[in-house]
Every structure is written in structure tokens, then in C-alpha cells.
Amino acid sequence: MKNGTILIPLAVSPNLNDYDSFCQSFSWQEEKQSLDGLREGKGLNIAYEAVERHAAGELKDTIALRCIGKDRTCRDFTYNNLHKLSSRFANILTTLGVQKGERVFVLAGRMPELYIAALGTLKRAAVFCPLFSVFGPEPVFQRLSKGDAKVLVTTKSLFEKKVRQLLEKLPSLQFILLIDEEAYVSEKVRSLPRMMEEAYDEFSIPATSPEDPALLHFTSGTTGMPKGALHVHEAVLMHYMTGKYVLDFHKGDVFWCTADPGWVTGTSYGIIAPLVNGVTNIVDEEEFDAERWYSILEDQKVNIWYTAPTAIRRLMRMNIEPKKKFHLEHLRLICSVGEPLHAEAVLWGKKAFGMPILDNWWQTETGGIMIANYLSLKVKPGSMGKPLPGIEAGIAEINDRELKITSQPEQQGHLVIKKGWPSMFHAYLHEEERYNKCFRGDWYITGDLAKKDADGYYWFVGRADDIIKTSGHMVGPFEVEAVLMDHPAVAEAAVIGKPEPVIGELVKAFVVLKSGFIPDEATQMDIMGHARKYLGAAVAPKEIAFTENLPKTKSGKILRRLLKARELGLPEGDLSTLERG
């Protein structure tokens, strides 16, 4: 099935309807014309493009943001409301003396104040940095301190549990604004509602250049200590164009991105891209729950849904047939990012929703989608798709001296991207050397390995750090995991290389079974046999261990390095982003 292709039947003509010819005629210059600030000589400010320009125009009364509370009550904000509220927040920052480029952090669940603070911070030309509300005190401290936070927006209970005891160690943190505190607290700790009430709802955005810093995002920490990637206002161009061409935003669309802004996807696509494109953005304050999610798709008449493989795998494990049980006829596009989406999941989308799930690839560092499947392009299940127009990707061989792009189809190598795309990260905060190491000549080295086929589709192989060397073969974990996942008993799988004196490393698999399957030797042998049949004896796992759960980051990525450390009895390394269930 892997090499089969699917063409999606379309309800609406897609914004990108002929990939090849569009790539040839594409120009960033023309794309930039769509951004009002630039056209009007006002510079480039993300929040201006996301709300201010719409607030005066025909989208004024369109719902920009709908926050669904845990109890299912909705709080709606039109473009005009969101513009005014974010202006109030920007005025608060001015009152507090926050200067351009200084950092404003938010530690809160997905509640409206987070979104208002994000846009207000960007209007003030300060730098917005969201943190997962489920982080413990140590990861919160690491990030506030590394990011020199000046202002923190949070709730009373998060402040008490995670921040109060850190204040002495955070000299740069001058103000804490509490979302749910009505009363006066102190000069340093203040009531956000009070300040919002007193602030003006008109704010004049200071001159912002495309190169001014805007967003600080910590990476997921899948391969080690999270890095602080700094992005500039020009990134909005990438958010705008990927919203248009990958997420296929049309006027009147309702969009739901399930990611938390603590992960870059929840900011680039959970805040900026939908607003810049003028669609209605749905936010759910609750965590994953299959029935709830399907009913949100139904009740909110969601047209475009952006989620992650970890959630898709969980949905696949349940005995729910969404298309039969829910009215999902408004849904016309489902996209996924964060981890490889194996072919079976792509095809499950067809069965469950009537459309394959479209995978796309990017990273915190790239700031926006770089490689994608498009509505108008044939889908090859298991492939990440093709680079965005205007993005030059390549597969490279890299050694100490040179980086050579290969023209050989199917050759495995480093996935690299030509420098200079609008949402490229401009720094790893306080880690200049590490940043410089990511670049070689004109190319950014992503740290992922991939292949490109003769039709120009990219296929994920694995993270360079996770590659297993066994009996002279280089094995990408994804290839093995994808085959394991094809077995009817397997719900999730992760493989690691375990040192072995004769063959270098042996492939060891950790497998979560679907409910109803028994973790015994017969199941083990059956899965091993299946893996041997499709992968060959050299590459198939030599050891399989059953487990109830796989360790994951808070953004839902499998932490193979932790499985490996535990297997080998080594120190577990940084676990600040580990999801503790």
C-alpha cells in the first residue's frame, strides 16, 4: 500500500491547485503584497496582520476566537473584540515599562487571556513566550530564567504552586499578572482583570521591522535539553501562506488546531495562521477525549482540523466510527504534524472520515510548515509530501568538510533547507555556537534524516540521533515502527538501538498492544514474524518488550532517548517535557 497514491475528492477549489506550476511561478515578493502592514509602509507586525487590519474591515464582526471551556460553555471574540482587548494588554505592558524586545511569558491553560496576551505582547513589539501549564516548577524556572522573563501572566493557583518559591531566583521577573485575581495584591503581583478594565482599548503599534524578535519557543526536548528558538515578525508571512496553501483557509472557514501554544504548533497554527487568514479559530480548554473531540468537530462545524499522530493513534485504538456516529459533513481537511504519520493512519482517515489525513513536516526552528501534502496533490501514504512553494529542501551527505546535496532518488541523507525562509529561527537563546552549528554554507541542517523519491516526495527516516547501526545497516526507527504498527495487535511502537558486541546495536522494540490482545510469547513471536517478513531478519527487532505506555513529551512525541537510557541503566537526562500520566 505504501507506494499507492490517493487523490482527494474536493468540495471547494483549493488555494493551491497545481503544485508544479504554482512552484514555478511563486514569488515571495507577490505573497508579501497580501500583508497590509508592508503594503501600507507600516513595517511588519504579526498582531497587526492577525487582528488590527481585520478589525476595521469586513471581518470586524466575524468570530476570530471561540474558546470552549471545560464545561463546554463558549466564549466568543470577534476580530474587533480581540483587537481591542489585545490593545488593552499592549497598553498594560507600556504602563509596566516593558520595552521592545523584552519578554512576556504566559503560563496558563488554553484560556482567552493567553490569546489576548499573545497578541498584545506582539503589538507592544515585545517577545511572547508561552509555557505549558502542566510544567512543574523546575521546567518553569529553567525557561523563565533562560528567557529573562520580565512579565509573567498566569493564574493564582499556578503562581502559588510553581512560581512563588522561585521569585528570589528570578531577578529579571518584575511583574506577575494574575488572570483570576480581582483584588489588589502588590506592586509586583497584580490583578490582570483590574488592569484590563482600566486600560485604553486603543493602542498604536510601534514601528516594527520584519527582523524584530517576536516569539520565543522552546523545542519539545525529544532529543535532549530543550532549546529556545527565537523567531521574528517576518515569520507571519510563512504563517499566512502555509495557512492558505496547506491548511487551505477560505473565507468563512472554521478551524481547529488541537495543539497547546506551549508547543510551537499551538502558536503558529493555534493563534497566528488562522487569524492572519481571517478564519474562525476554535480553542478547546480540555485535554484529549475522543468523544468530546468528535462532538466538537460536529457542534462547531469544523472545516479544517489540525492535530498530531499521537492523538490520531489514540483515536484509532477506539471502537468509534466517527463518520457514522457524528455529523461531520463540514469537515473537508485533516492535517497532522509532530511525528511521522504512518501509512495506516493516513488510510484510517479515509475510512473514519472519508478523507486521508494529510501529513506535514516542520520544526520549532522552522517556525512554520516546510514540507506538506496538499489537497490537490496525490497523497502517497507514509510520505511527508513536498516542500512548500518558495522553500528549497534537499537530501544531503554531510561530512567534516562538505555538505553535498544528492540528486539520487531514494538516497537516505540529512534533510536540509536552504537558508532565509521568513519564519527561520534567528537564534537559540544564549547558545550561539549551537545555532551556528545548524548551518553549513547556504543550508540549514534539520537533524532529521529523510529520502526523496523520484516524484519529489519526501519520506521521513528518523532523527539523526535515533539512527540505529546494526550489522552494518543504518536503520531508521520509523521504518521499523511503521511495519510493527501494521500488525493487527500493535497500537504503538518505539524502537531503539541497544549496544551489542557482535552486530554493533540490536533493534529493540517497545510495543503497546491494542485492547483485547494478550502480551504473551505467542503475540511476541507473531509480531516478530511479521517484522521479519517485511523488514528482513537483519533489520527486524531482535527483542520486543510489551509496555502499557510509551514515554512521551508534552507535545506527544515518543521519547526514544528515555527508553534507551532506561534500557541501558544510564542517567535519564532532561525530563522537563516528559508527560506524566
Residues that bind ligand ATP (CB under 6 A): 219-224, 226-227, 264, 337-340, 359-361, 363-364, 384, 446-448, 460, 463, 555, 557
Q: What is the DSSP string of 386-406?
A: EEPTT--EEEEEE-SS-EEE-
Separation of CA 145 from chain center:
23
448 binds, among Mg ion, ligand ATP, none (CB under 5 to 8 A by kind): ligand ATP
Which of 411, 375, 372, 399 has its CA nearest to residue 388?
A: 372
Minimum distance, C-beta of residue 260 to ligand ATP, in the bound complex (Å): 12
Q: Identify which of residues 151 and 475 has a Cβ nearer to ligand ATP in the complex.
A: 475
Instruction: Map residue 136 onto helix, strand or coil.
Output: coil
| Grid cell digits, residue 217 | 519557543
Helix locations, 46-98, DSSP H: 46-47, 53-55, 79-95
CB closer to ligand ATP out of 248 and 448: 448
Query: What are the C-alpha distances in Å from 92 to residues 156, 212, 397?
Result: 19, 21, 51
Closest approach, Cβ 223 to ligand ATP, in A, equals: 3
Within 10 Å of residue 286's Cβ, how many Cβ atoms?
A: 15
337 binds, among Mg ion, ligand ATP, none (CB under 5 to 8 A by kind): ligand ATP
Least separation, in Å, of the C-beta of 396 and ligand ATP?
A: 15
Nearest to 247 by CA among 269, 226, 272: 269
Choose among ligand ATP, Mg ion, none what residue 278 binds, the Cβ cut-off being 5 to 8 Å by kind: none
Instruction: Report helix, strand or coil for 57.
Output: coil
- The interface with Mg ion within residues 197-256 (CB under 5 A) comprises 219
Partner from Mg ion, ligand ATP, none contacting 373, C-beta within 5 to 8 A by type: none
Residue type, 11: A
Least spacing, CB of residue 223 vs Mg ion, in Å:
6
Report the length, in residues, of the chain: 581
**Residue 555 binding partner per list ligand ATP, Mg ion, none, with a CB distance cut-off of 5 to 8 Å that depends on partner kind:** ligand ATP
Nearest of 503, 446, 450, 501 to residue 472 by alpha carbon:
503
Residue 221 contacts which entry, ligand ATP, Mg ion, none (Cβ below 5-8 A, type-dependent): ligand ATP
Q: Which is nearer to ligand ATP, 191 or 576 (CB)?
A: 576
Nearer to ligand ATP, 44 or 214 (CB): 214
- Count, residues near Mg ion per rule CB under 5 A: 1
In whole angstroms, the minimum distance from the beta carbon of 142 to ligand ATP comes to 13
Rounded least distance, CB 482 to ligand ATP, Å: 11
Neighbours of 432 (CB within 10 A): 10
In the complex with ligand ATP, which residue's Cβ is closer, 242 or 360? 360
Least distance between ligand ATP and beta carbon 381 (Å): 13
Shortest distance, position 278 Cβ to ligand ATP, whole Å? 26
- CA–CA separation, 171 vs 317, rounded Å? 48
Query: Buried b vs exposed e over 204-233: b needs ≥16 C-beta within 10 Å?
Result: ebeebebebbbbbbbbbbbbeebbbbbbbb
Contact residues for 512 (Cβ-Cβ < 8 A; gap 6+):
490, 491, 492, 493, 546, 547, 548, 549, 550
Between 433 and 548, whose beta carbon lies closer to Mg ion? 433
In whole angstroms, the minimum distance from the beta carbon of 336 to ligand ATP comes to 7
Residue 226 binds what, of Mg ion, ligand ATP, none (CB under 5 to 8 Å, by partner type)? ligand ATP
178 vs 449, beta carbon nearer ligand ATP: 449
CB closer to ligand ATP out of 139 and 340: 340
- Nearest-CB residue for Mg ion: 219
Residue (of 290, 218, 277) closest to 244 by Cα position: 277
Buried/exposed 518-533: b ≥16 CB within 10 Å, e otherwise: eeeeebbeebbebbee
Comparison of 219 and 576: residue with beta carbon closer to Mg ion? 219
**Which of residues 37 and 381 has its CB atom nearest to ligand ATP in the complex?**
381
Q: What is the DSSP string of 434-463?
A: HHHHTEETTEEEEEEEEEE-TTS-EEEEEE
Q: Which of ligand ATP, Mg ion, none lies near 338, with the C-beta cut-off 5 to 8 A by kind?
A: ligand ATP
With CB under 5 to 8 Å by kind, the binding choice for 499 among ligand ATP, Mg ion, none is none
Q: Work out the number of other CB atoms within 10 angstroms of the CB of residue 436.
A: 10
Binding partner of 460, given Mg ion, ligand ATP, none, CB within 5-8 angstroms per partner class: ligand ATP
Residue 40's CB is within 10 A of a number of other CB atoms, namely: 10
Shortest gap between Cβ of 118 and ligand ATP (angstroms)?
A: 18
Residues that bind Mg ion (CB under 5 A): 219
